[in-house]
Amino acid sequence: MNKPTNQPVLEVENLVVRYGSFQAVKGVSFEVQPGEIFGLLGPNGAGKTSTLSAIEGLLKPNGGSIRISGHDTREQPLHARASMGVQLQSTSFQPELTISEIIRLFAGIHGIELSNERTAAILADIKLEDSASKRFGQLSGGQQQRVSLVIATIHQPPLVLMDEPTTGLDPQSRRQLWERIEAMRNKGHAILLTTHSMEEAESVCDRIAIIDHGQIITIDTPQAIIDDNRDKPEVIQASRKGRITLEDVFIGLTGTAIRS
Amino acid sequence: MSSTITTTAPITQQSRPAYTLPSAKTVFSSLLKADLTAQWRNRRATIMVVLIPSIILISWKSVVAFKGGAFALSNCIAIGLNAIGLMGYTNAIARDRDKGIFQRLRVTPAPRWTIIASRLAVQLVMILITTVLLFVIGYQFDHITLKASSYALGFLTAIVGGAVYLSLGQMIVGLVKTPETVNVTTRLVFFLFIMIGQFASFGAFGPEITAIADWSPYGTTKNILAAAFTPGAWVNQTNMYLLACLGYTMIFTLFGIRYFTWSTK
């Protein structure tokens, strides 16, 4: 059993990502602690996905460092990937495989051998006990997200990455997913999620970072960000019906122009 | 709506069970099991790949009488290898890449080579099954009988030939991004190889085209297969064809690895 530690689960330091001459991420730094839900917010093209992709190991950063549970993602990529579970925005699995087979495949990749009974118990936990022989594409959006989350956490990773996890979900499914995310946090997982939903950021995240033009503008708790910026003219101008919300602060800090 | 979450044993960051990085063998086994299952479930496509050379072989009774069993068998196995490498493997890789299936695997501790190696291993199984089937069909329908050593050498040359087409398929999927264009390209290449290779075998295009066809990936594969099935036919020229097969495999593989992207986005 590991000793309790204040060591961050995720340490991103001066991260730089370039696509040719365009610099998508310009020296981003932040940490995510164990038992914390950390939100990464930003308009389209702000650098969220590039930041997340660099952490996930899907692209090579051009500068800076990323450490997951102490493992540098460039020097120990397999250990770093083993310390995280990822729920991609659009996840797909081989269409020929059943849900049970997909779960056993990803458990097997982590060296976990699942018996039929254990697989059935996992499916029962996410209310999909009757869907064991269904294909992933046959599930509803909410069911797919539950399966994706189970697969991402099958090896109980210290860090869970979620890219816009509630996009396209109905309110009930979204609330259920929030509860699951909070349950993971309460168990000690660190969670980094990206979202466009200010409601989600305010409701679920312990801390958020707002990123724009490849740089972090602010990092703090949602309420602290609101309190620190509520008197700014651009935030007041963005507010509707007089009450300052996180969305107003976000619009005030990042501007009203539509990003492609 | 309330959700009752039945938790597994509570896990905190501090009490996470010790995690040992799984061995490449363990990862490869899991991937191979899943890929074999997927191939089995895709039986219709699998059967088509095997059916085409089987039908040709059955309908070539007169060709066997005219040109010999080795000619017929080598051509049909070459067609089968062509279909497996170009149509089966390549289109599946392009489809899965486009769906983001490889991205999902890339964010796990699976070494990247295991992801493709598993797919290739499945195709190797397909090559062996197709070769055996064609041996059996050749015997049953066309009365083609070979020495045991010829069957054994035939297996080995089928694997070499399979490597040529699988690496060609990998190159195509490396250079071409969208699955629709990959599909069109592989069908075109398949058609060209078969048509030119077949007609050139019968001398339909004249000596120059026949010589080019002879040294094409299709021709070199067919020639080493034919030599394997005919005792005493493996000569220096056959060694050259074998070297050409290995050369093609190396070049296609280099291009396939260099230009392959795991995602189309």
Could you give the angle at which helices B148-175 and B112-142 cross, rounded to 10 degrees?
140
For residue B7, name the pLDDT band (cuts at 50, 70, 90). very low
Sign of CA dihedral A115, A121, A122, A128: positive
Predicted confidence at residue B13, as pLDDT, reads: 43
Question: Chain A: nearest CA to B50, how far in angstroms?
Answer: 20
Predicted confidence at residue B6, as pLDDT, reads: 35
User: B38: exposed, middle or buried (C-beta count within 10 Å: 0-12, 13-18, 19+)?
Assistant: buried
For residue A5, name the pLDDT band (cuts at 50, 70, 90). low
Residue B101 contacts A where some CB pair is shorter than 8 Å = yes
Predicted confidence at residue A192, as pLDDT, reads: 97
Closest chain A residue by Cα to residue B27: A109
* Contact residues on chain A for B15, CB-CB shorter than 8 A: 1-2, 188
pLDDT tens, residue by residue, B228-256:
998 788 899 999 999 999 999 999 999 99
Predicted confidence at residue A231, as pLDDT, reads: 85
Contact A94 B38 (CB under 8 A): yes
C-alpha distance from residue B90 to each of A230, B37, B135, B169, B172 (Å): 56, 18, 25, 5, 8
**For residue B108, pLDDT beyond 60:** yes
**For residue A33, pLDDT beyond 50:** yes
- Mean pLDDT of the region A107-127: 93
In angstroms, the CA B17 to CA B158 distance is 47
Residue-wise over A215-236: b if at least 16 C-beta within 10 A, else e?
A: bbbbbeebeebbeebbeeeebe
Predicted confidence at residue A4, as pLDDT, reads: 44
DSSP readout, A190-205? EEEEE-S-HHHHHHH-
**For residue B12, pLDDT beyond 60:** no
Q: How are beta strands A22-32 and A71-72 bridged, if at all? A: unpaired
In angstroms, the CA B263 to CA B233 distance is 46
* Contact residues on chain A for B34, CB-CB shorter than 8 A: 94, 97, 101-102, 105
> Which residue, among A7, A36, A37, A96, would best test binding to B if mutated, counting the most B CBs under 10 Å from its CB?
A96
Contact A96 B42 (CB under 8 A): yes
| CB proximity list for B34: less than 8 A, separation 6 or greater | A94, A97, A101, A102, A105, B118
Residue A171 contacts B where some CB pair is shorter than 8 Å = no
**For residue A2, pLDDT beyond 80:** no
Predicted confidence at residue B25, as pLDDT, reads: 95
> Which residue, among A187, A191, A192, would best test binding to B if mutated, counting the most B CBs under 10 Å from its CB?
A187
Predicted confidence at residue B243, as pLDDT, reads: 96
Q: How far apart are the first and last CA of chain B?
A: 37
- Mean of the per-residue pLDDT values for chain B? 87
* Contact residues on chain B for A3, CB-CB shorter than 8 A: 14
Contact A105 B31 (CB under 8 A): yes
Comparing CB atoms, the residue among A58, A96, A183 nearest residue B107 is: A58
**For residue B15, pLDDT beyond 50:** no
For residue B116, name the pLDDT band (cuts at 50, 70, 90). very high
Residue B13 contacts A where some CB pair is shorter than 8 Å = yes
Predicted confidence at residue B17, as pLDDT, reads: 56
Contact A101 B16 (CB under 8 A): no
- The alpha-helical segments, DSSP class H, found in chain B are 24-41, 43-59, 61-67, 69-82, 91-99, 101-106, 112-142, 148-175, 179-201, 207-214, 217-229, 236-259
Residue B22 contacts A where some CB pair is shorter than 8 Å = yes
A216, containing H or E segment? strand A215-220
pLDDT tens, residue by residue, B42-63:
888 788 888 989 999 999 888 8
For residue B80, name the pLDDT band (cuts at 50, 70, 90). very high
Residue A133 contacts B where some CB pair is shorter than 8 Å = no
In angstroms, the CA A119 to CA A114 distance is 6
**For residue A96, pLDDT beyond 80:** yes
Dmax over Cα atoms in chain B, in whole Å?
79
pTM exceeds 0.95 for this model: no
Residue A88 contacts B where some CB pair is shorter than 8 Å = yes
Question: Residues of chain B with pLDDT > 70: what percent?
Answer: 93
Chain A residues 188-247 with CB within 8 Å of chain B: 188-190
* Contact residues on chain A for B3, CB-CB shorter than 8 A: 175-176, 179-180
Comparing CB atoms, the residue among A78, A88, A183 nearest residue B104 is: A88
In angstroms, the CA B220 to CA B224 distance is 6
**What is the value of ipTM here, to two decimals?**
0.88
> Which residue, among A150, A155, A156, A181, would best test binding to B if mutated, counting the most B CBs under 10 Å from its CB?
A156
Predicted confidence at residue B126, as pLDDT, reads: 93
**For residue B14, pLDDT beyond 50:** no
Residue among A257, A227, A256 at smallest CA distance from A244: A227
A81 close to B109: Cβ distance less than 8 angstroms: yes
pLDDT tens, residue by residue, A151-201:
999 999 999 999 998 888 888 888 888 999 999 999 999 999 999 888 899
- Mean pLDDT of the region B69-73: 89
**For residue B88, pLDDT beyond 90:** no
**For residue B29, pLDDT beyond 60:** yes
For residue A1, name the pLDDT band (cuts at 50, 70, 90). very low
Predicted confidence at residue B137, as pLDDT, reads: 94
For residue B1, name the pLDDT band (cuts at 50, 70, 90). very low
Residue A92 contacts B where some CB pair is shorter than 8 Å = yes
Two tokens, residue B126: 């397909």
More confident site: B2 or A32: A32
| CB proximity list for A183: less than 8 A, separation 6 or greater | B5, B7
- Mean pLDDT of the region A227-256: 84
Predicted confidence at residue A90, as pLDDT, reads: 78
Comparing CB atoms, the residue among A57, A94, A158 nearest residue B34 is: A94
For residue B188, name the pLDDT band (cuts at 50, 70, 90). very high
Question: Residues of chain B with pLDDT > 90: what percent?
Answer: 62
* Contact residues on chain A for B20, CB-CB shorter than 8 A: 111
More confident site: B196 or A1: B196
Partners of A22 in beta bridges? A19
Predicted confidence at residue A239, as pLDDT, reads: 82
Residue B37 contacts A where some CB pair is shorter than 8 Å = yes
- Which SS3 state, helix, strand or coil, does residue B99 take? helix
Predicted confidence at residue B46, as pLDDT, reads: 83
**For residue A36, pLDDT beyond 50:** yes
